[in-house]
Every structure is written in structure tokens, then in C-alpha cells.
Amino acid sequence: MRRRILFSLLVLLACTKLGSTAPTHCLQGCTCDRTPESPTIICDRANMTHFPLPITNPKTSFNFLQLTCNDIRTVPDYDLIMQAFPDLHGIDFQGNLYLNCTSLEQFARKLAIMSDCHSSEKLSCQKTSTPASKPRNTASKLGDLWQDIKQFNKKINVKQMLKDFFGRSVNLDSKMSQF
């Protein structure tokens, strides 16, 4: 079952790569993948020691920020990150061995985070020699991140939140029409 899902993700990834738009101006040391399904800023193995923040212009339309296998130690405030990346849904911090894990607590219930902080199985950051392994690793990471996002949505119960909101709006409208 898992192999079939992985194969489907690989086929989807290959198809989107064929139809993807031209590379766009990106953060230094990173590449920007603007595929419609999961626009991602990829900063793998970019020798980063600090979280990348675009100073002058925010990077809009990117849902994921992949910062694997760097040397990032601290993470800026959630609000500052969201100003720099307003459409961000998740960040991958795996492979940052010296990352201050307590700095990730601020993202709870706000943003999907992948990290090695509470995992006994750490991401290996050694370069692989097979070119075919990169799409497989990317597809696997995107699948894991999608699972994290689904769990995040279950935790905050989006459906119930919307029902409550619209239910209150209907009640308010009916009360207002009585006047």
C-alpha cells in the first residue's frame, strides 16, 4: 500500500516538474519550486546558520519552506516568519542537529513543523550518490508534511470551528431581523 502511494506521489511529482514554470528569484542559496500543488522554497544543504528571512519583499505564494540539513540553531518569532512568508503552511527543520527545539513550541497549533526534536530516528544528511533518490526523498517528505497538516487540522477541528462560526452568524442575523 505504501509503495503504491509513494509511486503515485513520484508520478505526480514527475508530471508537475515537466509542467512547472521557470525558476523564480529566490532566497540566496535556495531554489523555488512553484508547482501549483505544493509551491516550496527548498534550502536543503545550503550551509545556513540562520533562518532565511527576505528583508525587502515577502515571498508570497509559497506553502512550504524546506530547511533540511543546515546548521540553523534558532528560529525567529512566528509573526515575523508569517510577515516574510504570508502563505506558509509548514516548515521542515529536519537535519539541523543543533536546533533549539524549545523555539519550535511557538508554532503549536499555528504551523505544521517537521523536525528531529522528538524523534529517535534522525535524518541522515549525507549526500546520496543516486540521482533518483532526490525525487523519492522529496515525495516522502511532502507526504509526511501532508500527514502533519491533516493531523494539525484534526487537532483544531476546522469543520466544527466553521459550523460554530456560521451557526453564530445565522443566529445573529435572525436576532437582528427582529428589530
Mean pLDDT of 79-87: 95
Residue-wise pLDDT tens digits, 58-76: 888 899 999 999 999 999 9
- Banded pLDDT at 27 (limits 50, 70, 90): confident
Indicate whether 137 pLDDT > 90.
no
3-state secondary structure of 173: helix
**Which residue in the block uniquely carries the three cell numbers 451557526?**
167
Q: How confident is the model at residue 18 (pLDDT cuts 50, 70, 90)?
A: very low
- Cα separation, 127 vs 25, in Å, equals 26
Identify the pLDDT of residue 6: 46
Going through the chain in order, the beta strands assigned E by DSSP cover 31-33, 40-42, 64-66, 90-92, 112-114
Q: In the block, which residue shows the cell 509513494?
A: 6
The pLDDT of residue 119 is: 85
Please tell me which of 96-100, 115-119, 156-160 the model is most confident about, judged by mean pLDDT: 96-100
3-state secondary structure of 122: coil
Q: What is the mean pLDDT of the chain?
A: 78
Predicted TM-score (pTM) of the model is: 0.60
Say what the pLDDT of residue 160 is: 74
96: left (phi over 0), alpha (psi -120 to 50) or beta: beta
Q: How far apart are CA 101 and CA 119, in angstroms?
A: 11
DSSP-derived pairing of the beta strands 112-114 and 90-92: parallel
- The Cα–Cα gap between 159 and 153 comes to 9
Q: Which of 56, 91, 95, 61 is nearest to 76 (CA)?
A: 91
pLDDT tens-digit readout, 162-174: 777 777 666 655 6
Q: Are 91 and 114 in contact (CB under 8 A)?
A: yes
Helix (H) or strand (E) holding 7: helix 2-18
